[in-house]
Amino acid sequence: MSVELTGAEITVRCLQEEGVKYIFGYPGGAVLFIYDELFKQDKVKHILVRHEQAALHAADGYARSSHNVGVALVTSGPGVTNAVTGIATAYMDSIPLVIISGQVPTAAIGQDAFQEVDTVGITRPCVKHNFLVKDVTELASTIKKAFVIASTGRPGPVLVDIPKDVTQQKAVFDYPSSVSMRSYKPVSEGDSQQIKKAAQLILSAKRPMVYSGGGVILDNASEALTELVHLLNFPCTNTLMGLGGYPATDKRFVGMLGMHGTYEANMAMQYCDVLIAVGARFDDRVIGNPKHFYSEERKIIHIDIDPSSISKRVKVDIPIVGSVSEVLNELIKLIKASKEKIDEHALKEWWRQIDSWRERDCLRYDRTSAVIKPQMVVEKLYAVTKGDAFVTSDVGQHQMWAAQFYRFNKPRRWINSGGLGTMGFGLPSAMGAQLANPDGIVACITGEASIQMCIQELSTCKQYSLPLKIINLNNRYMGMVRQWQEFFHGNRYSESYMNALPDFVKLAESYGHVGMKIEKPEDIEGALEEAFKLKERLVFMDFITDQTENVFPMVPGGKGLSEMILV
């Protein structure tokens, strides 16, 4: 006779079976039975956040920095609605998460019960898939499906909504080792004919360019990408989501591209004759206006796991649907075996052109300024951490400076909300990254506006002794909003000034952390060194920076990549 378990026990057992180490959550009425079961075991450690949005971002940071599925647990009603921002953030960046949400008892569904919302309905547009479990006998297989769907194909968040009575009902626990779904069969192998065509086109290139995105990180394809680029000696750019996919200190790396990409990356994108797009999706912040991007001379190879990403904004010549790592490895094999060789002369000319673009030194800034330049803080952070930190960020100018000036040589080190652009992401995602990498250095580069959107998590950091280093680039403005207002709204700084700021040093101290205020450029390095020596402590570093600094280069909205505003 098999023993019957309650739905709550089954839920926790499923998480154990999946090898889940941490679950980020916040209790409430509908999930009390699940919390009761969590209490009785110690395999799955629960991290109590202070707001459900943070639970999702923390699970997200955990997933991004570790290649595991992140797991969050929230209660019904407001628990879920608070979580929606975090779910949508993960969805936009294709991060594998499983979210368990409590629901009112099945009999109360539709009765406008206390803390009832239509969770499946509210989250439908921002999940890869979601389930409402009405029968306890289907609970284990549903949770299994959730993990499978979240982590395969193009990854994404999957939500499992469990009514309270289902967590009380009993069923035999049998966790399936695999599930097959007739309607879900993600491909991984690319079409071999298409890959052959791609290899031929690559070898015929005179002005080639490799453009890679978050797909390379998600599919752990950095090594394959690096090998291919080295083999061909082609220039390579990464999107904001793809940073670390190719080593930033390698000479073939031309920097990030896009709205705040480097001059050389954007020009090379615009004027190349063969573009190899790998796990990237030509989004509006990357290529600007597709009409301006279009070029008759340019042929495009697009490798992506998601067919709907191909030819969505930009028509491509050779689409290859498949796992980017598998396709890249196939390409490497074909190119190595091919008798045809690259036109070295043309490639040399192309590199000469790119180097002349590089000479514009588009990321230069005033290094002699008497006030702290935010770029310098990021550069010093890079130096002090030897480029080896896990860096999370919020959204805005500081995010762009982090992306431009911290040179990521490894994947999964750069953690930011690229798609949704969620302020408040930095601190909680850093918590997740720290838990996933207990020996790693985790820095959160943020601004005084963003950090206040999830500042309550300083309390969570205290509870679990998470020794994060918070780099607050404090310019007393919502910097990116101010920049747009300066450029496009006649310097009318409508509601973008951050007035009545807290004393961040005291605030950090009141949460039991170390606070520092740094006001002079000459103090940056020493302060960072001192902070990183405090290995056991969270240090909140409040850098008072130049209020008027702008992010350059900039491709204004609706323009093309060669129409950058330069410093």
Partner 1 sequence: MRHIISLLMENESGALSRVAGLFSARGYNIESLNVAPTEDPTLSRMTLVTVGSDEVIEQITKQLNKLIEVVKIVDLSEGDHIERELMLVKVRAIGEDREEIKRLADIFRGSIIDVTDKSYTIELTGTSSKLDAFLETMQRNMILETIRTGASGLGRGERILKE
> What is the contact surface with partner 1 in residues (CB under 8 A)?
120-121, 124-125, 128-129, 132, 149, 181-184, 306-308, 311-312, 315
Nearer to partner 1, 43 or 124 (CB): 124
Q: Which residue has the tokens 């240090």?
A: 539
**Tokens 């609605």, located at residue:** 81
Choose the catalytic residue: 115, 200, 353, 456: 115
Beta strands in 41-108 (DSSP E): 45-48, 70-74, 97-103
User: Cβ of residue 307: shortest distance to partner 1, in angstroms?
Assistant: 5
Catalytic residue among 144, 164, 380, 469: 164
In the complex with partner 1, the residue whose CB is nearer, 150 or 243, is: 150
Name the active-site residue from 16, 114, 181, 462: 114
Q: What angle do CA 544, 404, 250 make, to 5 degrees?
A: 140
Closest approach of partner 1 to the CB of residue 156, in Å: 10
> Which amino acid appears at position 129 of this protein?
H
CA distance 425 to 454: 8
Of 307 and 502, nearer to partner 1 (C-beta) is 307
Angle value at C-alpha 256, between 253 and 261, nearest 5 degrees? 130
Residue 555 in contact with residue 479, Cβ under 8 Å? Answer: no
Smaller CB separation from partner 1, 132 or 453: 132
24 is catalytic: no
Residue 184 or 484: which CB sits closer to partner 1?
Answer: 184
Q: Find the catalytic residue in 9, 18, 37, 52.
A: 52
Least separation in angstroms between residue 181's CB and partner 1 is: 7
> Can you point out the beta strands (E) in 11-136?
22-25, 45-48, 70-74, 97-103, 129-132
Exactly one of 267, 480, 516, 554 is catalytic; name it: 480
User: For residues 145 and 537, which CB has a smaller minimum distance to partner 1 in the complex?
Assistant: 145
CA 335 to chain centre: 32
Which CB atom, from 132 or from 461, has the smaller least distance to partner 1?
Answer: 132
Q: How far apart are CA 443 and CA 452, in angstroms?
A: 17
Q: How far is the CB of 310 from partner 1 (least distance, A)?
A: 8
DSSP 8-state secondary structure symbol assigned to residue 182: T
Closest CA to 64 of 423, 398, 430, 395: 430
Distance CA 21, CA 16 (A): 8
The distance of closest approach from Cβ of residue 55 to partner 1 in the complex, given in angstroms and rounded to an integer, is 24
Using alpha carbons only, what angle is made at residue 47 by residues 88 and 136, rounded to the nearest 5 degrees? 70
Q: Which is nearer to partner 1, 179 or 505 (CB)?
A: 179
Q: Are 72 and 89 in contact (CB under 8 A)?
A: no
CB of 184 to partner 1, least distance (A): 5
Rg (CA), the chain: 24
Count of Cβ atoms closer than 10 Å to residue 461 Cβ: 25
Q: Write down the least CB distance from residue 512 to partner 1, Å.
A: 44
Burial 471-489 (b: 16+ CB within 10 A, else e): bbbbbbbbbbbbbbbbeee
DSSP 124: G
164 classed as catalytic: yes
Instruction: Give the span between the Cα atoms of 319 and 317, in whole angstroms.
Output: 6
Taking the least distance from each CB to partner 1, the nearer of 237 and 323 is 323
- Least Å distance, CB 225 to partner 1, is 25
Q: What are φ and ψ of residue 448, in 5° steps? A: -70, -20
Q: Is 207 helix (H, G, I), strand (E, B) or coil?
A: coil
DSSP 452-481: GGSTTHHHHHHHTT---EEEEEE-SB-HHH
CA distances from 542 to 417, 446, 502, 518, 534 (A): 22, 10, 11, 6, 16
Closest CA to 240 of 90, 87, 354, 408: 408
Q: Which residue number, 121 or 558, has a Cβ lying nearer to partner 1? A: 121
Residue 124 CB, nearest distance to partner 1 (Å)? 6
Helix axes 324-337, 192-203, angle to 10 degrees: 60
- Give the chain's count of helices (H) and strands (E): 22, 20
| Between 158 and 324, CB nearer to partner 1 | 158
Instruction: Enter the DSSP assignment of 106.
Output: G
Min dist CB 499 to partner 1, Å, is 37
Considering the complex, what minimum distance in angstroms separates the CB of residue 319 from partner 1? Answer: 11
Catalytic status, residue 115: yes
Show the tokens assigned to 264.
Answer: 């050389």
567 alpha-carbon distance from chain centroid: 28
Residues annotated as catalytic are 52, 114-115, 164, 480
